[in-house]
Amino acid sequence: MPANGIICHTGFSVWLYLPDQACIPFCTLYKIRLRLVQKQGHGFDYVYQALTVVVFLLTTLPYGFWNKEHNGVFSITSMEGGGGLIHSAQWAFKMPGYREERYWGNAFQYEIISEKDTQKVKQNIIDFNKEWDYIDSCCKPYITQSDSEIIKYMAHHKSDLWMTYNAKYTLERERILKQITIKHYKQDQWAL
């Protein structure tokens, strides 16, 4: 979860909240590519840079295998975040000043491109929550009895915890969030 819970511009927010560690191999590969393109390889340790990428990727494998064993999905990143992040970012400029309570509790700030019409903002908030009602209803079959007890506890301690769910629920919710957001991007007048 972002430290301050604020979602910014759509494109920028996707990169802003990625873990720094996940960028290491890409930055290193970019440095290698830049040196090759500029033909300034003199004094540049390609072996060290390649070793950095290989070691990084190898150190992510244990988490990926753990995820596969416990959640049925090989993933070197957490299962939650991508779909919800792009979904929140897509809605952020349509609901300035609103704090959502359906995902991570993101507070949407006023931006240069934010919706200015207060009636549209109110309608967008209603539409956003209707969309989340649909998402929750689709994922409800994945909540187990054990989850129900844990959810009650988390809801009681909302200021300290945000809601987490089992792997099947989380994977389905991420799939739906990505699907809905892609649909919005294709239909939305704000889409790039």
So what's the pLDDT on residue 111? 81
Phi-psi group of 162: left, alpha or beta (phi > 0 → left; psi -120 to 50 → alpha; rest → beta): beta
Write out the two tokens for 3: 């430290």
* Domain boundaries, given as residue ranges, for the chain: 6-14+77-187, 20-71
The C-alpha atoms of residue 182 and residue 122 are separated, in whole angstroms, by: 23
Digit-by-digit pLDDT tens for the chain (192 residues) are: 343 333 333 334 444 444 555 566 666 666 666 666 666 656 667 777 778 778 888 888 898 899 889 888 888 877 787 888 889 988 988 999 999 988 888 889 888 878 888 999 999 999 999 999 999 999 999 998 888 888 888 888 777 777 788 889 999 999 999 999 999 988 876 544
Beta strand residue intervals within 91-189, DSSP E = 107-108
pTM above 0.85, yes or no: no
Sign of CA dihedral 112, 114, 116, 118: negative
Indicate the Cα dihedral angle 41, 24, 57, 4, nearest 10°.
Answer: -170
- Counting every residue written for the chain, the total comes to 192
